[in-house]
Structure 1
Amino acid sequence: MPAPIGPQSRPLAPQQTRELPPPPPASAPKAAPAAPAMTLDAFQPKQLLPNPLELLTELKSGLKTKLFLKTPPGAPVEPVLRNSEGARNPLAYDAVLDQFSVAVSPRYEIKADQKTHCNTYVWDATKAMGCELPIAYDPATGEPGKVNGKAKVGEPIWAKPAVETNANGQVDWLRKHGPSRGWRKISPEEAQARANAGHPTVLAWKNPDPSQSGHVAMVRPDRAGPYDAKNGPLIAQAGKTNFEHGYAHPKLTGIANKGEIEYWTHD
């Protein structure tokens, strides 16, 4: 698999500073520790958002690493950063994606079984954005699966009737259940524009060979310039190659002329 096609680095938001409050009196009680989860609210020009590089350093050096960098692919995780409908912006979108550290996280590595984990990564990212593209769901209703807390070792973790699926199953979910849950199909150019505005957007491809898995990836904001139809949208993915930034070019995705590449977006 060739190296990812795309920018080697992306410009970060200018360094922001804030005025520190005066130190509390010596007799003041210590403040309670902050909650581990953080919601990125509607963007304000002076709002301080996490620097992705600082965030990754924190994730890799602290307890949070154990929460999702080392969690098995089929198990749910609780992300540190979340974002929801009505509070979209590209900085929040980038921060949510970057926390998963897809290029280096053991959660998305190809192990001895040679399975790739594109479906897990997109599940993680969309769930953190409040528009879950489930990895397990009820085939009849499309309802995302719930963990069976009584499952024994070696048994499926999902309570019936939910079944775990691959990327092909996620594409099926988008087509059958996505529109009723806020997802809509758009063009590649619209996909990049939507991601640039901070709206969750995915690349989805169903493999024509039902014995082989398809592919899903996250379209992400691109600040490199106007949309380039030759290279396609900028994406982050887990797969045969895991990367944070690379264009959805046939040489990178490996899915040209093998069925339609679809793009779906959510508000």
Structure 2
Amino acid sequence: MGVTALLVAAALTVVGVAGAVANQATAGPQPKIVGGSEAEPDEHPYVVYLADRRGKQFCGGTLITPDKVVTAAHCVARSSPRRISVVAGRHDTRTDEGTDVGVADMWIHEDYSRVTDGNDIAVLTLEEKVPYETIRPATAEDEDQYAKGTEATVLGWGRIAERGPSSNYLREARVPLRADGDCEETYRDYQPEQMVCAGYQKGGVDACQGDSGGPLIAGDRLIGVVSWGEGCARPEKPGVYTEVRAFEAEIKAAVEGSRSGVAPDSIGIPILGG
């Protein structure tokens, strides 16, 4: 998954923020889909991407209502609604299919500071509703979807290799959820109460730069948000995702419009080398 709030001078990468927004919006690990395959067009209509003012994709997101998108805080923390658009219904980023809609408002978790410290979650409110299928975010009732060994699907337009090019097409990959203990041994910053990690011990399949903010799906639920990791698809370096069910109350409040979040300028994020 290659994202760790962009690793910090080392090798963590925040999966996905590029171009102008990338320079402002994230400072951390960035992941993309490595070892996966092109998704079937229209199979995952709830998967969207965030674009900068030039139309360049830099992060992923997930439609949970017709006008609400869950993404990673590190994707938008250094930006503002007017500098971001959400593209829905577009399989190939080179086309103009689907809908390109502006962002009216965004809630960023008030305790977010950098990806490895957690709280890497945000909810965007679109300027208008889009006509695409949505997916439900996981809640406390979805405990079974977080069991060790559960096969989950990660999707995005990020890089297809750690130092490779990004994909023009939406890609997907299946990865097994790992035990929290495994992740704590691998990453000292791993927080089991709000993070989940996934990937094969031998590596080879992961999210990568450009996939940040995108979905981790299991049992028809959004269980994770691509957040950080060390490199992309490295052996014994699983990708780390924000655990959606841990933020059930915050997401519900943001959807209902009762969370104002924090002003982007109030968040300090270190710029790390990826």
TM-score range, shorter chain: under 0.3
**Larger CA Rg, structure 1 vs 2:** 1
Give the structure with the higher percent helix: 1
TM-score (norm: length of structure 2): 0.27
Give the structure with the higher percent strand: 2
Whose RCO is larger (CA < 8 A, sep 6+)?
2
